[in-house]
Amino acid sequence: MKTILTGIRINSEITLGNFLGALLPMVRLANKYSETHHINIFIPDLHSIISSIDGDLKQNTIRELKYYLAAGLKINSNIHIYRQSYIPAHSELCWILDCYTSMGEALRMTQYKEKSQNNDSSTNVGIFNYPILMAADILLYDANFVPVGEDQFQHLELTRNIAERFNRKYGEIFTIPEKTADQVKFMETLNNTFSNRDKDTPSGLRIRDLQNPEKKMSKSSDSDNSKIMMSDTPAQAAKKIMSATTDSLANINFDFQNQPGISNLLQIEALLSDQPLATVIKKWSNQSRYGDFKKQVASTVSDFLSDFQTKADSISDQTILDLLAEGEAYATQKANQTLLKVQKSIGLR
Ligand code: TYM
């Protein structure tokens, strides 16, 4: 049985970018494939501690898992929900993979380069080691598909490279995750809105910063108006959409190159109203009144948040703790099995 796996850090509340780039695609994939695939949804809490944490990790974990249920995840016995730090095999395999990764390839990771720019005391070794822990997260469970936003694609490619190198040396130990381009195509089997589409060079989803749409929407952005948090009140979120940066072309087009702000809003509208992007583009294209369009997107976002938050609030903590207990029993067994295979192959056992 193939495996689909993903994780979202819980350093703080998650953004609409995290939600649309990773959580919602995972829920849609799970609901479509959970009869025939393992679906692993895990909380990368060890990845969280590379930087500061808003709130309490344990509470943040419970809240994020409620979001999967509120987004419509249907639970069955192929769905495995667990916390990374509860499965020690992640850290153990990470160390082993460290020894099969060159400094050069780890230093090339864009996210590391960005996060270590200041090279001050906040740049810890965990930030450097982060993609290799991510490789362990994926390889322990023989994951084939890993729905993530575009910013994580480089880490997926690194995972494939490490696993291929290891297999060349020791035989077929790891399952190699699908190529990024094939992962994007797989996501597109859901509907046609999960990538900034260009048929020849498929790319992943990147929801943009509302104030500075050249950049991705990020939890760590300083400006509150740049990002929609999943706990924003519907009115707050609507206001942020109304004040989003657009352009002066007075013509609605899906064109990230020249109109990133408007294109970002078209994408948000399509994903949250569950319509194909092409339908939304067709409806609005070549209209000049940005105000009307923004009002529509603001209303879609605020209706969505109010419904979503009501659903999330109605789920009890105990429901989540029960799912974790089951998921962690499964994950421990599966991860230890893979780890033992690795330990034997290199002569540790
Ligand atoms: P994290 O926590 O930074 O982000 C979680 C997911 O959200 C996606 N994302 C976005 N997608 C679209 N538009 C945006 N503006 C946007 N911002 C964030 C990210 O691409 C990601 O999919 N390293 C991962 C967590 C992780 C993981 C793993 C994921 C650890 N181990 C193994 C998959 C498999 C991370 O820090 O994501």
- Concatenating the DSSP letter of every residue in 268-320 gives HHHHHTT--HHHHHHHHTT---HHHHHHHHHHHHHHHHHHHHHHHHTS-HHHH
- Compute the C-alpha angle 60/66/72, nearest 5°: 145
Give the domain extent around 238: 224-312
Cα 23 to middle of ligand 1, angstroms: 9
Q: How many residues are given for the chain?
A: 349
Co-location of 154 and 274 in the same domain: no
Residue 203 lies in a domain: no
Per-residue pLDDT for 276 more than 90? no
Read off the CATH number of the domain in which 155 is found: 3.40.50.620
Cα 7 to middle of ligand 1, angstroms: 7
Distance from C-alpha of 265 to C-alpha of 164, rounded to nearest angstrom: 39
Co-location of 238 and 336 in the same domain: no
Phi, psi angle pair for 328, to nearest 5°: -70, -30
Mean pLDDT computed over 182-206: 69
Co-location of 170 and 250 in the same domain: no
Residue 239 appears among annotated catalytic residues: no
194 — pLDDT class (breaks 50, 70, 90):
low
Phi, psi angle pair for 34, to nearest 5°: -75, -10
Distance from C-alpha of 153 to C-alpha of 226, rounded to nearest angstrom: 23
CA-10 nearest atom, ligand 1? 2
- Compute the C-alpha angle 155/178/83, nearest 5°: 55
Residue 115 appears among annotated catalytic residues: yes
Residue 207 lies in a domain: no
SS3 of the chain: helix, strand, coil, percent, to 5: 55, 5, 40
Mean pLDDT computed over 144-168: 96
Pocket of ligand 1 (CB under 6 A): 5-9, 17-18, 21-22, 44, 47, 134, 137-138, 146, 148-149, 151-152, 205-207, 216-217
What is the per-residue pLDDT across 319-333, written as a single tens digit (0 to 9) for each? 999 999 999 999 999
Distance from C-alpha of 145 to C-alpha of 277, rounded to nearest angstrom: 23
User: Of 204, 295, 190, 306, which Cα lies nearest the Cα of 256?
Assistant: 204
Nearest CA to ligand 1 atom 7: 18
Residue 209 lies in a domain: no
Nearest CA to ligand 1 atom 18: 18
Residue 216 appears among annotated catalytic residues: yes
The pLDDT > 70 percentage for the chain reads 96
What is the per-residue pLDDT across 28-50, written as a single tens digit (0 to 9) for each? 999 999 999 999 999 999 999 99
